[in-house]
Structure 1
């Protein structure tokens, strides 16, 4: 059905629409009070912002989902954006998942973990956090103050003597029955108080226990409690009293630059500034400030582990009341979003806005420095090698194997001096059965620059081979055979960082402090990292396959299912019998035989 016909059939009801490109990929998700009016406006009007016009050039189709209300449409829109990451929506700039703290209160003896995935598994989650370094420092402190177990469920169930953490007083030893269950649960409650921002209550309770231990002449216990109190008071010293009413609230402020947008989130818990998180956004071009702020609120709070009862904004957001209704549904209680007009809360919102501006300015200066450095390195490389044009696209190749076993080749791509990870490729060597790096390099280069891959990816301005004359010669022979001899190709030998060119007797030695050499080293090292990671993965799967071959009742089909399900020998050893039984095609006798084999 053509677009014109689909536009005529659109219902006049609230819902979500999905814009798709020619490959069927979702490139934009939007919500509407009236689907017919909203979607038709894209195709009937010509007065669009540049970003919308750019999107429409790629739109080949659209779909829609009708909802009962605008709030439901907003909820569905958030779910699609979080799942699909459409390129034309406003998103958090980093594609990675931000880390959370996970307290496994669903386990008999809980653990504290750092995770990047929220699951509905009964555990308590706190976050997300943007400063991973600060998060790791916090976890190190918490493990000293709260000696919870750190072992996996499998190790916990099968340990017959306590680990090192018990002996250095970083764990109470519940795995071997040494921990008092009530005392352990009390410690979990105290940790929860800390993570909820109620550190002062916790300090007061610990001081009471310390005094009681001292009065009871339990001086070693009192000394341990004293050290815990001191550590927590150091944390409290860094916090600032910002509200006298003791409310829990987030304060959110936006700063806009030429190409960047930054949002600061102040997390105020029980009247103290407990944390500050900084986020950068992408896809904000052509959007007004209220729309950018609303886009952040949808993305951030749809993935937040917990929602405060109040969110204060430094300026109004688009669909502010609708967002409040949506977040209230997520939280299961009322969440208000408002812009304070006077008093301490307005001052706090202004402080957040000022911090957002400073963070954005710092990021833009760092970006400008990185741009100058990478572009300068590309220009320096052109001059150092005497190239006819700038090597804007560099492709680097590396071979990884152990005496010819599980041999793989890696290709990485740098564009304008920065990694283009979406264009990286890995090749499992097929035609070379013995340790022969030259033949392996030839196979990798041939597979990259012939067949569908040659048409799918643009050709490079420069090719870098990890190795000396032999590897370079093998690669150049293939390039001549494929009619690509005109692409400049160099080999970089690691021992003395010698740069080899075809036909040159002596290698070229660039100065060690040259940004041109540093760029080539970065390409070479990234190719090595990418290749060795793949090689280790294959080697681990081969070890798992060998282990499985020794188990009666585990034939090729079951081995394949186990390999697909667990991926590594380590994960297989940690699996419970119930988890083994969840593998398709594995019967109880086979699962029991495998479990017995793995655990002696």
Structure 2
């Protein structure tokens, strides 16, 4: 048994990170300390002066561990990384902070590309964002492609230069044709640097150069070329006018302020580049009512900039933050030049902060209204479902399952959970089907249900044994909580398959199939020989449709993830003539790269799209 008081005596007087765990060994809080001994002991002294959140956390702590670092800066970086990885429930967390999309310009390549990404890496590429949505990213990328004549094809340059004919964009002057060698590497990279300036809100230099090019074209009597440049100048000026100049400092700044309600907080960030507002983003932090303003701002700055694509030379904050010196050093190290943190008390910067705070309050009010509506609809949906299905109690926990596959490959299943009518994503689970390698939804569904409730049975037995021994070391993975009803994507065959599996565990849980109409839209629920029509009740129909769509989305996302891993980063990329389509066809036919290696040229040539000559080339490549 872990003796907290004895372990407190062993704490070193050094900087580091401490990790608090609950009875199940789950990490519930991660913190940083200048002196571990002093900081960790504070939690277990008098709780009367602590906030309700800290008191609640301490009551759950059953053990802790720590990692000693050489410096406080190292401890800060480690703390940020561990919080991002484990997302402990008692830390202040940015909601869905991994989901925000960025624009990536691959300046680390000879002929850079522009694309959307959700992952920021230290690879030499330029990143811009975060953007409010995938739609905003795509809209911006489409605009860039209209304004700048860059390539939009999938050709790998310089490998594919001169191979094949140019695309339509080249003939309508929307691409310079780097695939034909019509533009040098340096010229193309100069164009991509203009794009980076545009995305960063700096159009002035581009406009000056375009005006010079337009005059030269006009002087040379190239009026058609001059007109095209003129149109591009007008488009850029129109965009520049939309970006309001809100700071006379003409610096790169992030202005961060927040608003609080009785339960939640909203932090708003305005991105100012060269004095112009080029974008903004807000983050809802739920359950932070009793968190101090300083703690809220400190936690946000550390989490947001641990994964931010760009750190400006100045942060303007609404509140003072803890450890401002060490955080400035950390941000400066990420930026490679000095970053200053300012908390204004008067003047233009204070007005900026007040404006951002007002926007945060508007976003928080809209969030509260949306939650209020969603909660009311969820409760009404549960009540209507209880009446329709004649259930004994309100279905407060609903589990829904779906199968997704690509023919006979990547057969996966999803389990999504709705508690009190809302998605509980922490309880979502995904499964890779092991019992069959052919498309068989019934067998796949039976495997998932068996694995899920086998785990539930084990956890319940473990907990019962621990209760008898008066200990609490049994690990809980969330499977021990049983649903009020089960919903499966499919008809009566799926329902019967699930029921026959449930009988093995003696769990009396109602099972219903979610059936769709000919247009692939949710139609009703089926159980036994009876189908419950949902079309006459729009609220109930929307409620069940939301559950079915979420189960489908979660399964499909996992299927896509596996397919991406399967077909990307392959050794086949090194073989001339094998593009994405042929690579996919080869792996689908042989099952793996290992299968392709073992095949002879005749077998390889049987794959659709593979000629005898290419089959021999693939065979020879692996023999070399």
1:110–1:148 contact (8 Å) kept in structure 2:
no
Cα deviation, residue 164, structure 1: 4.0
2:524–2:535 contact (8 Å) kept in structure 1:
no
Range that drifts further, 16-25 or 39-48 = 16-25
Match of 2:251 in 1: 247
Corresponding residue to 2:393 among 386, 389, 393:
389
Range that drifts further, 509-518 or 244-253 = 509-518
Match of 1:511 in 2: 535
Q: 1:11 to 1:258 in 2, by over 3 A?
A: same
Q: Extract unaligned runs of 5+ from structure 1.
A: 556-568, 574-591
Cα deviation, residue 6, structure 1: 2.2
SS in 1 for 2:525: strand
Q: 1:554 to 1:263 in 2, by over 3 A?
A: farther
Match of 1:558 in 2: none
1:15 aligns with 2:16: yes
Cα deviation, residue 287, structure 1: 1.5
The CA deviation string for residues 48-72 of structure 1, in whole angstroms up to 9 with x for no partner, is: 3222223223323322233444344
Match of 2:484 in 1: 461
SS in 1 for 2:532: coil
The 2-side partners of 1:333 and 1:466 are apart by: 54
The CA deviation string for residues 328-382 of structure 1, in whole angstroms up to 9 with x for no partner, is: 2332322221122222222111111111111111111111111111222111211
Range that drifts further, 450-459 or 121-130 = 450-459
Counterparts of 1:114-129 in structure 2, within 5 Å, are 114-129=116-131
Q: 1:334 to 1:596 in 2, by over 3 A?
A: same
1:499 aligns with 2:501: no
SS in 2 for 1:312: strand
SS in 1 for 2:588: helix
The CA deviation string for residues 556-580 of structure 1, in whole angstroms up to 9 with x for no partner, is: xxxxxxxxxxxxx9xxx9xxxxxxx
Corresponding residue to 2:511 among 482, 485, 489:
489
Match of 1:349 in 2: 353
Cα deviation, residue 283, structure 1: 5.9
1:391–1:461 contact (8 Å) kept in structure 2:
yes
The count of residues paired between Structure 1 and Structure 2 equals 562
The 1-side partners of 2:438 and 2:175 are apart by: 49
Cα deviation, residue 105, structure 1: 1.8
Cα deviation, residue 23, structure 1: 4.8
Match of 2:581 in 1: none
Counterparts of 1:554-573 in structure 2, within 5 Å, are none
Counterparts of 1:68-217 in structure 2, within 5 Å, are 68-152=70-154, 154=156, 157-158=159-160, 160-161=163-164, 162-217=166-221
Cα deviation, residue 231, structure 1: 1.8
TM-score, normalised to structure 1, is: 0.83
The 1-side partners of 2:247 and 2:321 are apart by: 23
For the aligned residue pairs, the C-alpha RMSD in angstroms reads 3.3
Q: 1:409 to 1:86 in 2, by over 3 A?
A: closer
The 1-side partners of 2:121 and 2:206 are apart by: 28
The 2-side partners of 1:331 and 1:433 are apart by: 49
The 1-side partners of 2:209 and 2:6 are apart by: 69
Match of 2:614 in 1: none
The 2-side partners of 1:539 and 1:197 are apart by: 37
Q: 1:388 to 1:338 in 2, by over 3 A?
A: same
Q: Extract unaligned runs of 5+ from structure 2.
A: 460-478, 567-586, 601-606, 611-616
The 2-side partners of 1:303 and 1:535 are apart by: 27
Q: 1:35 to 1:544 in 2, by over 3 A?
A: farther
SS in 2 for 1:57: helix
SS in 1 for 2:531: coil
Q: 1:215 to 1:512 in 2, by over 3 A?
A: farther
Match of 1:34 in 2: 35
1:335 aligns with 2:336: no
Cα deviation, residue 326, structure 1: 2.7
The 1-side partners of 2:336 and 2:153 are apart by: 34
Q: 1:254 to 1:425 in 2, by over 3 A?
A: closer
Q: 1:535 to 1:193 in 2, by over 3 A?
A: closer
TM-score, normalised to structure 2, is: 0.81
1:399–1:408 contact (8 Å) kept in structure 2:
yes
Range that drifts further, 433-442 or 514-523 = 433-442
Corresponding residue to 2:550 among 521, 526, 545:
526
Corresponding residue to 2:298 among 276, 294, 298:
294
SS in 2 for 1:88: coil
